[in-house]
């Protein structure tokens, strides 16, 4: 999973991601986590990917060349009796969309 994208929106053969996040607790049981994600994604074989992995030139939407994918946003969470209540807002480069996500309940396996 990549913040700001749907699960089936990006299918790749290679994926290398760096996530920077910082959690704040302004009030008891309320959490704010601003985050920035940068990923290098590849669609062909590993040898072609590793040549451009750190300086990708392609556009990830075309799914042909090694590409860079970036997103920025924030997650707002509340630890309730039903489990965590999460609201995430993220912006992804190249698609120019602001995506909103909402979830309630126990997380058995986190995607990020």
- In the chain, the percentage of residues whose pLDDT exceeds 70 is 93
pLDDT at 107: 58
Q: Is a pLDDT exceeding 90 seen at residue 94?
A: no
Model pLDDT, residue 9: 77
Percent of the chain scoring above 90 in pLDDT: 30
Q: How far apart are CA 63 and CA 108, in angstroms?
A: 31
pLDDT, the chain, mean = 85
**For position 51, what pLDDT does the model report?**
84
What integer is the mean pLDDT of 49-76? 85
Q: Which residue has the higher pLDDT, 98 or 106?
A: 98
pTM over 0.85: no
Burial code of 18-49, b = ≥16 C-beta within 10 A, e = fewer? eeeeeeeeeeeeebebebebebbbbbeeeeeb
Tell the residue number behind the tokens 């985050």, with chain if given.
Answer: 35
Mean pLDDT over 24-40 rounds to 93
1 or 58, which is more confident? 58
Confidence (pLDDT) at 110: 56
């Amino acid at each position: 999973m990549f913040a700001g994208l749907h699960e089936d929106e990006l299918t790749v053969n290679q994926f290398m991601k760096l996530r920077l996040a910082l959690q704040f607790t302004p009030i008891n049981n309320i959490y704010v986590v601003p985050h920035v994600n940068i990923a290098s994604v590849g669609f062909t074989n590993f040898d072609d990917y590793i040549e451009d992995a750190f300086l990708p030139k392609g556009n990830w939407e075309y799914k042909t060349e090694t590409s860079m994918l970036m997103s920025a946003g924030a997650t707002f969470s509340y630890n309730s009796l039903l489990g965590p209540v999460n609201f995430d807002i993220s912006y992804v480069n190249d698609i120019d969309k602001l995506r909103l996500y909402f979830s309630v309940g126990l997380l058995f396996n986190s995607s990020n």
